[in-house]
Structure 1
Amino acid sequence: MIIFNYLLVCLVFGTTFLAIKIGVDASAPPFLSSGIRFFVAGLLLFGWMIWRKKASFSLLLRKEMLLTGIGLTFGTFAPLYWGEQYVASGIAAVFSATAPILILLLQMIIMRQTPSRRSLIGCIVGFIGVILIILPAITLSASMWLLIGSLVILVSQLFYSGGAIYSKQVTKRFPEASPIALNAAQMMYGGALLLMLSACTEHWYFKSLLSADVIGSMLYLIVIGSMIGHSLFYWLVAKTTPVFASTWLYVSPLIALTIGVLLYGEAITWVTVVGAVTIIVGTVLVNYESLKQLFQKPQREITQLQEAHSN
């Protein structure tokens, strides 16, 4: 069951980038569509948790939910949706794999943590991968918007990294609260902020939301991407470890690249593939120690069982 749900999480998160791309290509305002997605998904999830008596309305009154929503939802998805107007969905997914690298950099700068030499090498390797991917946009003046979109999406991962670090502190402050309820609350705040940004910057032509592509994209992202995908992710965290659950970052970008090419006709070059693999290798190096412990744990358990039987 764990392996099945893990593969399902990888597939879901790998397809959400294409769903976003389909929606924005169909002229859905990026901030409006992302705001509706997260506010509705958060509202439904939070209502479900209230019904199961695993959350209370007082959780919505805590400033921690607002701050987490700014990092994990508003600051992450406002740039991502906007950037995907100009960047292929597969490339956007690959850039999402830089989050662990940026988390390490933030821990170095803000928290004064000293990383290992291998982690520093991983940061450099990941940075080289980013350069390889955006290199065509730098050399071709006609692709200026591709360059801007790429940089904006990278900024989104900086927000996500900060939000991820802060959310770890939040979960410690609310040990009695369900992680799903915490996630739902921050999605509601983030979605509300996205809708406010949309009201100030976009024209709300609701006809643009009524096409089959936009409706299909929205439903998929609300139900599959936000409600099911994130719930399965937190289920994996509870049943395994956060490190194991987060390894979707190494699998989903490759899925996103593949389905973008096969199902949506997105162009891909060998430089893009090399850049994507380089970023993932860099991410693996950054998380090497955690991954090593993750894969050594089952072996230790097997050894302990063998010793117990021999005794």
Structure 2
Amino acid sequence: MIIFNYLLVCLIFGTTFLAIKVGVDASAPPFFSAGLRFFIAGLILFGWLMWKKKASLALLFRKEMLLTGIGLTFGTFSTLYWAEQYVSSGIAAVLSATGPIMILMLQTFVLRMKTTALSVFGCILGFAGIVILLLPQLAVSGNIAWVIGCAAILVGELCYCCGALYSKRVIQQFPEASPIALNAAQMICGGLLLLILSFFTEHVDVQSLFSPKAAGSLLYLIVIGSMVGHSLFYWLVAKTNPVFPATWLYISPLIALAVGVVFYGETITWVTAAGVVIVITGTVCANLHSLKQLMQRRKAV
């Protein structure tokens, strides 16, 4: 069941980058779109769980839900949605693949956990891949907005990693609560913060949300991306650890690149392809030790 859900997460998250791009290109305000997506998805999930008596309204008012929402939803997707105005969905997915490397660095330098030489090499390799992705584009076109967008995605990914590590502690702190209820609560909090950000920074033309592309993008992201994908991710964190679920970022960039090229006409140069391979290779090397330990523990059980 864990492997099936993991593969499903990879497929879902691999397509959400293009869905975001389609919505943003259809003139849907990025912060408002993101906020609406997560607030509605969280509200539906939480309401359903309350009806099934598997969630308590008091959970929404816990500071842990707010902090998790800031990391996993607000910080991650405010930057991603804004950046995809300037960055292709495939490149956005590749930059998001740095998540496991950042988790490793946080565990090593902040949580003081031991690491291996291979993990350090993987971090250096992943960083080199990012440089290969970014520098040629800046040198050729001087597209500052593109580079700032890429940097924003990396900042958002750092928020995501902090949220993923913190969510593991929250799950342990609320053992009686369903992981799906915890996920729904943090989506409500994060989505509300995104809507507040939109209120102060964006002019929202409601009609733009009703175009076929914008509406289709929003519906797909609410139901498939948030209600299904993020609930499965939270379930995987509860069943394994923060590292293993985050490895969807090894596979999803390849799916996102392929989907972007086939269905949206995005282009990939040989330099981009080289950067993609280096980033993903570095990410795998950085987390190989953790993955081996996880597999050994599963075999022991």
TM-based fold match above 0.5: yes
Aligned to 2:22: 22
1:142 deviation in Å? 3.6
Q: Does 1:291 align with 2:282?
A: no
Q: Secondary structure at the match of 1:140?
A: helix
**Aligned-CA RMSD value:** 1.9
Aligned to 2:32: 32
Instruction: State the TM-score, normalizing by the size of structure 1.
Output: 0.91
User: Does structure 2 retain, via aligned residues, the 8 Å contact 1:31–1:81?
Assistant: yes
1:257 deviation in Å? 0.5
Aligned to 2:105: 105
Aligned to 1:73: 73
Structure index of larger Rg: 1
1:286 deviation in Å? 1.5
Letter in 2 for 1:202: E
Q: Secondary structure at the match of 1:27?
A: coil
Q: Secondary structure at the match of 1:60?
A: helix
* C-alpha separation in 1, matches of 2:3 and 2:141: 45
Aligned to 1:309: none
* C-alpha separation in 2, matches of 1:185 and 1:205: 28
User: Does structure 1 retain, via aligned residues, the 8 Å contact 2:40–2:222?
Assistant: yes
* C-alpha separation in 2, matches of 1:240 and 1:167: 12
User: Does structure 2 retain, via aligned residues, the 8 Å contact 1:243–1:294?
Assistant: no
* C-alpha separation in 2, matches of 1:244 and 1:53: 30
Aligned to 2:221: 221
1:108 deviation in Å? 3.1
Aligned to 2:157: 157
1:6 deviation in Å? 3.2
Aligned to 1:260: 260
Aligned to 1:209: 209
1:185 deviation in Å? 0.4
Mapping 1:55-74, distance limit 5 Å: 55-74=55-74
* C-alpha separation in 2, matches of 1:34 and 1:270: 32
Q: Secondary structure at the match of 1:87?
A: coil
Unaligned runs of 5+ in 1: 302-311
Q: Does 1:281 align with 2:281?
A: yes
Number of aligned residues = 301
Q: Deviations along 1:10-66, whole A, 9 cap, x unmatched?
A: 111100000000000000000000000000001011111112211101101111111
1:241 deviation in Å? 6.2
1:240 deviation in Å? 6.2
Shift of the 99–244 alpha-carbon distance from structure 1 to 2, 3 Å rule, reads closer
- Percent identity over the alignment? 65
User: Does structure 2 retain, via aligned residues, the 8 Å contact 1:87–1:150?
Assistant: yes
Instruction: State the TM-score, normalizing by the size of structure 2.
Output: 0.94
Mapping 1:125-140, distance limit 5 Å: 125-140=125-140
Segment drifting more, 78-87 vs 172-181: 172-181
* C-alpha separation in 1, matches of 2:123 and 2:213: 38
